[in-house]
Amino acid sequence: MDFRSDNTHGCSPEIADALARAGEGTRSSYGRDEITARVRAQCAEIFEHEVEVFPVISGTAGNALSLATMTPPWGSIFCHEDAHIHREEMNATEFFSGGAKVVPVRGANGKIDFEELRREIRLAPVPSCISVTNATEAGTLYSIDEMQAFAATKLPLHVDGARFANAVVATDASPADLTWRRGCDILTFGGTKNGTLGADAIVVFRAELAKELAVRYHRSGHRASKMRLLSVQLEAYFTDELWLRNARHANAMAARLRDGIARVDGVELIQPVDANVLFVRMAKNVAKALEEKGYRFFDWAVFGEDAWRFVTAFDTTEGEVDALLAAIA
């Protein structure tokens, strides 16, 4: 049973159906097709705002393209020190931006500490924007009020929403309230970790940024000529609230796992569990025994040598969670 990551899972049946039919007929290439236009319309409705949408095959592409468009090469981008853009993307943001600086900011539970943030902004040569991951890498959340505090810095705001759906269902805030109404100019809207088979969307709320982003998109090789491969997935993902249903389920499975773990001695939750990611402290031999029983999950060096990460997905079942809990106990 696989708790390694939400990206080891496959896709929702609705996505599979869309992919099966995606190759029918001829279509204008490079995103000038009707499906991509419909995805744009869906996002405009979801966000209650005019948007431009760029489908991408990875969150790394989404983040790096967005941030490169929001900062000059001499600017500083502020993010949590455990943000994906800082720890996991091999300097994609520095690359796409032509050498902008990513400034890590500390803070508990994977969330940016606002006092630290203000200090770093004050000392940076050219402060340019903030990148906020919501839900965070640590499986925690920023509330509408916290998003408002970012907006108060007056710096442009990027939201890394690899798990944006999980944040929306967990906070019960509207997508608009977690983005452009709180100063967000561009959102990396994740699909891959939540039921698509490799399709995320860059959602641009400020029209003047979209023109430059379009050029960066093309010259980075991310503008697929047969865009429908990505667009059909996104269309299905936004249809009948599949994106929200999937996230609601993944979060519920995480809560079930969290509640179960809380009752086990010798196994400790490291962070609050607000979305679909859990960090657990347990002895190495316990972890090893679990792995031998066929449970799969990752060790997590950020939290030390006895820390482990479990992720629940859109298709994790109650049975799998309960089996894992039984095995842990």
Site for a copy of itself in 184-213 (CB under 8 A): 192, 197-198
**Residue 94 or 146 having the CB closest to a copy of itself:** 94
Of the candidate residues 34, 45, 91, 108, the single one contacting a copy of itself (CB under 8 A): 91
**Residue 64 binds a copy of itself, judged by CB under 8 A:** yes
Residue 323 as a binder of a copy of itself (CB under 8 A): the answer is no
Cα–Cα separations (whole angstroms), residue 231 to 13, 121, 225: 16, 37, 12
Q: What is the dihedral of CA 268, 86, 80, 71, to 10 degrees?
A: -160
Of the residues 31, 62, 107, 127, which one makes contact with a copy of itself according to CB under 8 A: 62
Find the shortest distance in angstroms from Cβ 92 to a copy of itself.
Answer: 5
Give, as ranges, the residues between 112 and 131 that touch a copy of itself (CB under 8 A).
122-126
Does the protein bind a copy of itself through residue 19 (CB under 8 A)? yes
Nearest approach in angstroms of CB 84 to a copy of itself is: 11
Q: Which of 34, 88, 115, 322 binds a copy of itself (CB under 8 A)?
A: 88
> Segment 256-315, which members bind a copy of itself (CB under 8 A)?
301-302
Asked if 61 touches a copy of itself (CB under 8 A), the answer is yes
72 binds a copy of itself (CB under 8 A): yes
State which residue, 180 or 300, has the beta carbon closest to a copy of itself.
300
Sequence length of the chain is 329
Q: Which of 207, 173, 284, 158 is nearest to 44 (CA)?
A: 207
Among 44, 220, 245, 264, binds a copy of itself (CB under 8 A): 220
Nearer to a copy of itself, 216 or 258 (CB): 216
Question: Between residues 262 and 293, which has the closer beta carbon with respect to a copy of itself?
Answer: 293
Told to check if 15 binds a copy of itself by CB under 8 A, we report: yes
Nearer to a copy of itself, 63 or 171 (CB): 63
Name the nearest CA neighbour of 120 among 171, 165, 86, 144: 86
Indicate the residue among 103 and 250 with the shorter CB distance to a copy of itself. Answer: 103
Rounded Cα gap, residues 93 and 101, in angstroms: 8
Does 7 bind a copy of itself (CB under 8 A)? Our answer is: yes
HSE of 74, CA atoms in CB hemisphere, 13 A? 2
Count of Cβ atoms closer than 10 Å to residue 269 Cβ: 15
Residue 320 interacts with a copy of itself (CB under 8 A)? no
Specify whether the CB–CB gap between 120 and 77 falls below 8 A.
no
Q: What tokens does 111 get? A: 């969330």
Out of 38, 49, 87, 256, name the contact with a copy of itself by CB under 8 A: 87
Interface with a copy of itself, residue 10, by CB under 8 A? yes
> Does residue 226 belong to the site contacting a copy of itself (CB under 8 A)?
yes
Q: Which of 58, 69, 134, 251 binds a copy of itself (CB under 8 A)?
A: 58
Nearer to a copy of itself, 98 or 266 (CB): 98
Structure tokens at 15: 């996505």
Nearer to a copy of itself, 154 or 211 (CB): 211
For every residue of 72-136, DSSP letters joined together read -TT-EEEEETT-HHHHTSTTHHHHHTTS-EEEEE--GGG---HHHHHHHHHH-SSEEEEEEESS-
- Calculate the alpha carbon distances from 129 to 56, 71, 153, 155, 209 in Å: 22, 7, 10, 5, 14
Pairing of strands 127-133, 76-80: parallel
Is 180 within 8 Å of 155 (Cβ atoms)?
A: no
